[in-house]
Homo-oligomer: A and B are copies of this chain.
Amino acid sequence: MNGAEALLRTAVAAGVDLCLANPGTTEMQLVAALDTVPGLRSVLGLFEGVCTGAADGYARMTRRPALTLLHLGPGFANGIANLHNARRARSPIVNLVGDHASWHLAADAPLTSDIESLARPVSVWVRTSASAKDLARDGAEAIRAALSPPGGVATLIVPQDCAWDPAEGPVRVAPPDAPEPISDAAIEQAAAALRSGENTALFLGGEALGERSLRAAARIVAATGCRALIETLVARLERGGDLPAFERLPYFPEQAREALAPCRHVLLAGTREPVAFFGYRGDSSRLCPDSARIHTLADPGHDVAGALEALVERVGAAAQRNAAPRPARPVRPTGPLDPARLGQALAALQPENAIVVDEAATTGLAYAAFAAGAPRHTVLGLTGGAIGQGLPSALGAALACPDRKVIAFQADGSGMYTVQSLWSMARESVDVVTVVCSNRAYRILQAELARAGIAEPGRNARSLTDLSHPELDWVSLARGLGVPGTRADTADGFCDAFARALAEPGPALIEAVL
Given contacts A32-B454, A80-B118, A384-B74, contact A164 B281 (CB under 8 A): yes
Binds B, one of A145-153, A210-218, A258-266, A420-428: A420-428
A279 interfacial by beta-carbon distance below 8 Å: yes
Q: A470–B110 contact, CB under 8 A?
A: no
Contact between chains at A386 and B111 (CB < 8 Å): yes
23 contacts between A and B (CB under 8 A): A24-B448, A25-B278, A28-B445, A31-B449, A31-B465, A34-B461, A46-B416, A74-B81, A74-B384, A74-B386, A77-B84, A77-B118, A78-B80, A101-B280, A104-B278, A106-B285, A107-B285, A111-B385, A117-B117, A117-B120, A164-B281, A423-B472, A475-B480
Say yes or no: is A161 at the interface (Cβ < 8 Å to chain B): yes
**Does A460 make an interface contact (CB < 8 A)?**
yes
User: Chain A interface (Cβ within 8 Å of chain B)?
Assistant: 21, 23-26, 28-29, 31-32, 34-36, 40, 42, 44, 46-47, 49, 73-75, 77-78, 80-81, 84, 88, 100-101, 103-104, 106-111, 113-115, 117-118, 120-122, 160-161, 164, 233, 272, 275-281, 284-286, 383-386, 388, 413, 416-417, 419-420, 423, 426-427, 444-445, 448-449, 451-452, 454, 457-461, 463-465, 467, 469-482
- The answer for the CA separation of A109 and B111 in the assembled complex, in Å, is 33
The smallest beta-carbon distance between A458 and chain B, in angstroms, is 3
A169 shortest CB reach to chain B, Å: 20
**Contact in complex: B74, A80 (CB < 8 Å):** yes
Do the beta carbons of A278 and B109 come within 8 Å of each other? yes
B31, B77, B278, B286: the one within 8 Å of A81 (CB): B77
Q: Is the CB of A32 within 8 A of B423?
A: no
Q: How far is the CA of A276 from the CA of B452 in the complex (A)?
A: 51
Identical subunits present:
2
The answer to whether A459 touches B113 (Cβ under 8 A) is no
Chain B residue contacts of A24, Cβ below 8 A: 445, 448
A458: B residues at CB distance < 8 A = 32, 34-36
Contacts of A77 in B (CB 8 A): 77, 80-81, 84, 118, 386
Please name the residue on chain B nearest to A41 by beta carbon. B460
The list of the 10 closest CB pairs from A to B, nearest first, reads A35-B458, A470-B482, A104-B279, A74-B386, A477-B480, A77-B80, A107-B285, A476-B480, A101-B279, A34-B460
